[in-house]
Structures are given as C-alpha cells and as structure tokens.
Amino acid sequence: QKPTVIITGASSGLGLNAAAALAKSGEWHVIMACRDFSKAISQAKRLGLPSGSYTVMHLDLASLDSVRQFVDAFRASGRRLDSLVCNAAVYLPTAKEPRFTADGFELSVGTNHLGHFLLANLLMKDLEGSPSANPRMVIVGSITGNTNTMAGNVPPKADLGDLSGLSAGSVMIDGKEFDGAKAYKDSKVCNMLTMREFERRFGGKKVHFASLYPGCIAETGLFREHYGVFKTLFPLFQKYVTKGYVSEEEAGKRLAQVVSDPALNKSGVYWSWSNTKGAFENQVSEEVADDGKGTKLWEISEKLVGLA
Ligand code: NDP
C-alpha cells in the first residue's frame, strides 16, 4: 500500500490543490474527507487527479457524530495512515447572527477547531501505527490569528481571553458578543495552539506535528460569504499592495510540501514562505506562544467533544 494522507476540506481551495499535488506525485493515496461528496468528485476530476489515486469519504466537521463515523469508516477501509491534514474551515465575516454545529457550538470554532480537535485525537492511534518513520499531523493555521503581524492586527483581533466563554458554552470563546470575523480568527489561534499542545504532549516520538500559513490565497471559497466588492478588491490588494498573494495551485504545493518534503520533517514548527527563501520556520504570536493557554484550551476542548 502507498502511504495515505487524509485531507479535510479537500473539495475546494487549499485542500483540493494539496490533494492534487500529492495524488499527482504518484507517491500518495489521498483520502478527500469532505462534506459534499459529489462536489469533491467533480473537483477531483476538474483538477485531473489520476483515478485510483484518491478516495472521497464523507466527513462533516460540524457534527461530532460525523467525525466519529468518519474514523470508523476510515479504519474499516483497511488503509494505513501516514499523514493527517486538518484543513477545512468556514469563515462568516458578514454574519449578523451566529450559526451553530449539530452539537450547539458556534459554527466557525465548532468546525475549524472542535471538529478537528476530536478528529486529530482519535486518529493519533492510527498515525502512531503507521509504517512511516515519522507520520505527520498538519493543522492549517493563519496569519490572521497572529497578532504579531500586520494582517493579524486588522480589527477585530483574535483574542481568546481567559477561555471562560468556551467553557461556559457562550457563543464566543472570550464570552463577549458574537463577531463572525473574530470567531474565525479565534478558531485559527485554537488550531495553532492545538498543534503546539500536541507537540508538548506527544512530541519527540514518532509522530511529527506542524502548522503553516500558506500565504494569502485570496480567491478561494473561504471568502464566499464576504461582500461582493471585497471579493473583487481583496485579491488585487494582496497582489499589488501587501504582495502576500499566492495562487491556489502554489498554496497547494506548499501544503503538500509540509506533508511530504523530507526537508520539512522538523516537529512543532509553524511554517511560512518567503518568495526568495521558500519555506522557513516562523514565529508565532504571543497568544499562540502561551503554553498555559494551550493546555487550558486542550482540557476544555477534551470535555466539550466528549474525550474526557
Ligand atoms: P475554501 O472555502 O476554499 O475551502 C474550505 C474547505 O472546507 C471546503 O472544502 C469546504 O467544503 C470545507 N468545509 C467547510 N465546512 C466543513 C464541514 N463542516 N465539514 C467538512 N468540510 C468543511 O477555503 P480555503 O481553501 O481558503 O481554506 C482552507 C484552509 O486554509 C483553512 O484552514 C483556512 O483557514 C486556511 N487559510 C486560508 C487562507 C486564504 O487566504 N484563503 C489564508 C490562510 C489560511 P465545501 O467545498 O463543501 O464548502
């Protein structure tokens, strides 16, 4: 059997393009873990993934039952697991009212963080059983959750506060009023804190952990709920002003690199790219570097998803 990588949200944008890069390399079997089966199939065909190089499996991260069912179905497939990529996300910057997952969590934190938190914890056992020397768990981060960057300082800024809202079942992690853009940024901080907490708990052994900011992929479906004028101007702004723009194809190659490049085998790293140097180890924000917060987030999340 070829090494297997599971990519969540592989029906669009970054995940789809990483799936294409890995499937076309001929070295990987890609499990496209998606909520929309027919969309995933048609997108895989559109990008020319060789038949037999991928399998689409149903996963709705906005339902903890679906996450558990996915893990059971994956195990029943008899495939080995060599890499897990937690990539799927929703972003609701214009929502006036919160939306919720099947389990009653605010949709962006519930999908982007809690669904992936359960999935990653359940699949640790499978990664540990991999025939690869260093199977990799990759959790996609973002610069927008990094308040040590210019992009991360655009209001509303990510801020998990003391996490009292999360543990009390409030809509926002900090217990304050709903803000869709902030909920997304908070969820990305959670993704990066989770990667670092995995490293603290399980690092130095077989499984390696990584997060990344692939660049600003300004044309993906992530911005589907944004205002029309934003969707027109944002890619131009990123291309010509910040110069942080990256195409979906290039971003997909970057994510594929974090999955498979021997040069990126170091664990616990938050990878970023510069146009001249390629991949480099980036610094995380003060909040993401707060190990106490990472541990607290882990303990609360464990209870919320029913692992503790
Ligand atoms: P897209 O919207 O193009 O892709 C998001 C994917 O997540 C889609 O496949 C979508 O499925 C899937 N998804 C959403 N909700 C669920 C769910 N409940 N269960 C399963 N899958 C779900 O966005 P991007 O490709 O831009 O985003 C991918 C990752 O990249 C995210 O983690 C994002 O935070 C990160 N990122 C993006 C940047 C950018 O500039 N675009 C910059 C930095 C990070 P469907 O196709 O059915 O909608």
Cα of 279 from ligand 1 centre, angstroms: 22
Q: Can you tell me whether residue 181 is helix, strand or coil?
A: helix
Give the relative orientation of helices 180-202 and 291-304 as an angle to the nearest 10 degrees: 100
- Ligand 1 neighbour 187 (Cβ under 6 A): no
Q: In this structure, how many other beta carbons lie within 10 angstroms of the beta carbon of residue 150?
A: 10
Q: How far apart are CA 297 and CA 295, in angstroms?
A: 5
Q: Can you tell me whether residue 15 is helix, strand or coil?
A: helix
**Helical (H) or strand (E) element with 25:** none
43 pLDDT more than 80: yes
Mean pLDDT of 162-175: 98
Cα of 136 from ligand 1 centre, angstroms: 20
242 pLDDT more than 90: no
Residue in the structure block whose two tokens are 């924000």? 285
Distance of CA 88 to the CA centre of its chain: 5
pLDDT at 275: 80
**Pairing relation of β-strands 83-86 and 136-140?**
parallel
Cα of 11 from ligand 1 centre, angstroms: 9
Tell which atom from ligand 1 comes closest to the C-alpha of 86.
Answer: 32
Identify whether the C-beta of residue 159 lies closer than 8 Å to the C-beta of residue 186: yes
Q: Catalytic residue among 54, 91, 184, 213, which?
A: 184
* This prediction's pTM: 0.97
Q: How far apart are CA 130 and CA 25, in angstroms?
A: 20
3-state per-residue secondary structure call for 194-257: HHHHHHHHHCCCCCEEEEECCCECCCCHHHCCCCHHHHHHHHHHHHHHHCCECCHHHHHHHHHH
Percent of the chain topping pLDDT 70: 100
Strand partners, 6: 31, 84
Residue-wise over 16-31: b if at least 16 C-beta within 10 A, else e?
bbbbbbbbbeeebbbb
- Ligand 1 neighbour 59 (Cβ under 6 A): yes
234 pLDDT more than 90: no
pLDDT at 283: 93
151 pLDDT more than 90: no
149 pLDDT more than 80: no
- Ligand 1 neighbour 225 (Cβ under 6 A): no
pLDDT in tens, 201-210: 999 999 999 9
Please state whether 163 falls in left (phi above 0), alpha (psi between -120 and 50) or beta.
left
- Ligand 1 neighbour 66 (Cβ under 6 A): no
pLDDT in tens, 51-83: 999 999 999 999 999 999 999 999 999 999 999
Tell which atom from ligand 1 comes closest to the C-alpha of 40.
Answer: 46
Q: Hey, whose CA ends up nearest to atom 21 of ligand 1?
A: 9
- Ligand 1 neighbour 87 (Cβ under 6 A): yes
Q: How far apart are CA 292 and CA 254, in angstroms?
A: 30
- Residue 91 is among the residues annotated as catalytic for this protein: no
pLDDT at 150: 76
pLDDT in tens, 86-137: 999 999 999 999 999 999 999 999 999 999 999 999 999 999 999 999 999 9
**pLDDT band at residue 36 using 50, 70 and 90 as cut-offs:** very high
**pLDDT band at residue 189 using 50, 70 and 90 as cut-offs:** very high
Alpha carbon distances (Å) from 152 to 48, 72, 81 = 35, 38, 34
Beta strands, E only, 14-71:
29-34, 54-58
Identify whether the C-beta of residue 10 lies closer than 8 Å to the C-beta of residue 16: yes
pLDDT at 80: 98
Please state whether 232 falls in left (phi above 0), alpha (psi between -120 and 50) or beta.
alpha
